Structure formats: C-alpha cells, structure tokens
Structure 1
Amino acid sequence: MPVPDPPRVALVAITRHGAARLRRLAPQLPAAEIIVADKFAGELAGLANKVKPYSGAMSAQIAGLFAAYDQIVFFVSLGAVVRLIAPHLKSKDEDPGVLVVDDAAQFVIPVLSGHVGGANACAEEIAALLGATAVLTTASDAGKTIPVDILGRELGWRVEAPKINITRVSAHVVNEEPVAFVQEAGSKNWWTRVTALPRNIHLFVRFEDVDLSAHRAVLWVTRREVPAALWRQLEERLVVYRPPAGQD
C-alpha cells in the first residue's frame, strides 16, 4: 500500500502579534511554510521553514492558499478568517482544512473541513505542540465514535455506499443507536482512539451472524460482492468498506 504524501501545511500571520505566536509553533513543524505580511517577515528570520512574504490584502491570497495547501493555520481572529474564506468555499470534499489559533495560543479551532479534510486531526497535533486545547465540534470526533465517511482511510480502505447511506448511518452512530460492525477482511487496527469502542457498536466476524432487526445500521468490511437485493433490503442502513488486497 503506497504511503500517502504528508499534508502541505501553511502557517499564516497578518499582524506582528500573530507572527510572534506563529514563531513559537513553526520550529516544531519545519516542513510547514510560513505566509506572512512582508513588513513582518524579518521577524521570522532564522527559522528552518520556508517563508513566503506577501504584500497587499490577505483576501487576495486566499485562492492561492486554497490551491496550494491541505491545511491552512491562521493566527488571526476567527471572525476575520470566516470572512476571508467565505467566497472560496466549494464542498467538504474539495476545501482544504482551515484552522485558527486564538490570540493567546490557548485554543486551536478547526473552521473548515475538520472531519473529511483532516483539520480536526491537525488541530489536535498543533494543540499538543502548543500545550493548547483543540476545539472539536464535529459529532464523531467530539463524541469519540466511528467516523463513518472516513473510517479506515489511513489503512487504504475504500468506502462503498451512496452518500445518503453515509449520512443516515452516521446519524445512527452518533445518536448511540445499535450498529453492527462486521469485519471479514482488512487490518484489525482500525480503532485508533485511546477510548474504548462505544457500547452501541457491536462486533461480528460474519455478516450472517447479524440480527438485522436488532441493529439500526451495518458497517461491513468485506471483499464479498454485495447483492443488489441486500442493498435494497437494508435501504439506507448499510455502508461497505473495501480494504486493499493482502491486508488481513
């Protein structure tokens, strides 16, 4: 299985105070690039990070940042960031992760693409480096439960289900309703949280062992073909994951 490329991270400061906060974090993320107002660029001299000064309005830089980076960390107020990025939003599948570090560097807030785009995970990493708190608001991350739409992504699993299924099943998961997790293939190391698996998730090794009447949804990791009749029977209650060949 190919190793994914590391995320392209930008650390962005508009003010002198923001540049000072950024300077505290940058040495711990040497691969991150620094985007800073040109009049404050000299204050970041000596860092190993690549520094890209800009002139003019930050609003003129946003389109380029969205195209060039996977995670954009702003040392700017949350309200200012919302106004800056609003004209450039497309969808959660396309937008980069956007984060804000507050003025006191006490909180790291994922603003955009926290879940699918990876900003929540990035926020937790940055918070650990700063001794700050990551403020997570997406239901599966805040509730420490299964992220249905990206489960197994780091293991190379491919999700197979209509979008409406993913939405409906995610709701059953976060609402703590009984959900069957059937694993017939793939790595067993899919649960990466330090907390225990939520009690509403019931584990099975074969689909045939699941009492469908007792479960609101099914998450099925398999290499088997799923008959069209079964998709129809379960309506919007089924999400299937396909692990890469040889991963068992």
Structure 2
Amino acid sequence: MHDVRVAIIAITKHGAAIASRLAPQIPEAEVVVSAKQAEHLGEFANIRKVYQGALSAQIADLFESYDQLIFLVSLGAVVRLIAPHLKSKDEDPGILIIDDAAQFVIPVLSGHVGGANAYAEKVSALLAATPVLTTASDVGKTIPVDILGRELGWRVEAPKINITRVSADVVNQLPIAFVQEAGSKNWWTRPTPLPDNIHRFERFEDVDLERYRSILWVTHREIDPSVWQRLEERLVVYRPPQDPS
C-alpha cells in the first residue's frame, strides 16, 4: 500500500495561514496555493505548488495526483469544482473542507473507501477543530461494512448490493450476526462499545439464520453457492490474510 498523497489547497489569505499551521504537522502533504496568496504562506518544509489562473483548471490534475484533497475553500464552491470530475467511490480521492476559521473539518466525498472520514478526524485533532461526519456508521459508532478490517489486510467479498443492504441493516440496528473464524480479533477500533445489535459467533453453524437479519462472516472457508443463494442479499464475507505456514 503506497503512502497517502495529500494536498492542502488554499485560495484566500486566511486559508494560506491555516495551511501554514497545518502543513508542518502533516509531512506528507503538499501545499497548493494560488499565486495571489502565495505571499501569505508561512515558513514550512513541505513542498509548495503555486498555480496561475483559476482553481477549476487544476482539479483534474489534483484528482490524479493525490489521495486526499484538503480544501480551504467554501463547501458550495468545492462541490461545483469537483462535480465534473467524479467517477466512483472506488476511484475518487477523499475530499475534505476546512472553514476559514479552522473550526470545522468536513469530509465531503469518499468518506469510507477513500478514507476521508478518518483523515478528517486526524486533521481535526491537529487543528483542535470539530470533524463533521455524516456517514451513518460513523455517526452511529457502528461497523463500517464496506471497509471493516481494511487496516488488518481483510478483503471484503460480496456483491455490492449485499454491502449496501447489510450496511443499512447495521445502521438501522437490526440483529446482526458477526461470525469470526479467522483473522485478528482487534478489528473493533472505536473507543465506544460494540453496539448491542451485533452478536458474535465463532462458527457459522452456530448462527440461527432465521433470527439474524444479516451476517458478517470472517473466514478462510470456501463458501458454497447455495449459501450465497439462501442468504440472498444478507451476507458479507471478509477474507483475512492467510497465516504463513
């Protein structure tokens, strides 16, 4: 997995000042600033890129060159700027916005798969700001079905419709069976307790499939097509790395 490529983009005097505060705390970040505001940048070791003309002309290159884009630009302006360049949550970079007073950090795009939510929390801590998270699983402090175990090397295995439906069941607090037959036990990383609607099992055979609305199954087993068919859109499988023999 490559290092995260981060750009901090400023177009105002206040934005340049905030970028100057933030950049030294994120060594991997590069500061992208308009020529008009470059003189307002402070001293820091990060790479700085000065562009001429309109920010809109820079967006395509920013999307291609970075994994996280931190805009010190208004929310409405950013939405209009990025709209023509959006492809999918699997391809788009994480988009974050910091207001001109550095009070709030808002992940706008690719919160889960793109990592913007996690990065917003990191940036908020650095600025003593408030992260504004709107993703249901983050607000509800529950399992993020689409990226669970990603930092542990787990791969998710399920049709997209399953991930969507199971995610809805999780955030709506329906009964969920979490079956873990493989992988690290340290997958729950939130400071809050595991929600009461998530019930743990050590074997798939121990789950009463009529009782639980959805199943999250961490396993190395081959899963028979009949199981997928029986559970329709209720099953998401995670594949942890195989232990070296």
| Range class of TM-score, shorter chain | over 0.9
Give the drift of 1:30. Answer: 1.9
Alignment-derived partner of residue 29 in structure 1: 26
3-state SS of paired residue (2:4): coil
Give the distance between the partners of 1:31 and 1:158, measured in 2 at CA.
26
For the pair 1:213 / 2:210, whether they are aligned, the reply is yes
Alignment-derived partner of residue 98 in structure 1: 95
Instruction: Give the AA of the match of 2:60.
Output: A
Instruction: Give the AA of the match of 1:154.
Output: E
TM-score, normalization by structure 2:
0.97
3-state SS of paired residue (1:56): coil
Give the drift of 1:45. Answer: 5.0
Aligned length: 244
3-state SS of paired residue (1:212): coil
Which structure 2 residue ranges, 5 or more long, are not aligned?
A: none
User: Equivalent residues in 2 for 1:135-174 (5 A)?
Assistant: 135-174=132-171
User: Equivalent residues in 2 for 1:93-242 (5 A)?
Assistant: 93-242=90-239
Alignment-derived partner of residue 49 in structure 1: 46
Give the distance between the partners of 1:75 and 1:210, measured in 2 at CA.
49
Partners of 2:178 and 2:201 within 8 A in 1: yes
Give the distance between the partners of 2:148 and 2:79, measured in 1 at CA.
28
> Residue 64 of structure 1: which of 61, 81, 97 is its match?
61
3-state SS of paired residue (1:61): helix
Give the distance between the partners of 2:162 and 2:43, measured in 1 at CA.
51
Instruction: Give the AA of the match of 2:79.
Output: V
Give the drift of 1:130. Answer: 0.4
Instruction: Give the AA of the match of 1:184.
Output: E
3-state SS of paired residue (1:168): helix
User: Cα RMSD over matched residues?
Assistant: 1.0
Give the drift of 1:27. Answer: 1.2
User: Equivalent residues in 2 for 1:1-16 (5 A)?
Assistant: 4-16=1-13
Give the distance between the partners of 1:15 and 1:55, measured in 2 at CA.
14
Partners of 2:20 and 2:43 within 8 A in 1: no
Which structure 1 residue ranges, 5 or more long, are not aligned?
A: none
- In percent, how many aligned pairs have the same letter? 72
TM-score, normalization by structure 1:
0.96
3-state SS of paired residue (2:210): helix
Give the drift of 1:40. Answer: 2.2
For the pair 1:83 / 2:76, whether they are aligned, the reply is no
Q: Tell me the alpha carbon deviations over residues 44-75 of structure 1, each in whole angstroms, 9 at most, x when there is no partner.
A: 25311000000000000000000000000001
Instruction: Give the AA of the match of 2:138.
Output: D
Instruction: Give the AA of the match of 2:92.
Output: D
Instruction: Give the AA of the match of 1:230.
Output: V
Instruction: Give the AA of the match of 2:9.
Output: V
Q: Tell me the alpha carbon deviations over residues 175-216 of structure 1, each in whole angstroms, 9 at most, x when there is no partner.
A: 000000000000111111000001000000000110111100
Moved more, 219-228 or 20-29: 20-29
Partners of 2:20 and 2:42 within 8 A in 1: no
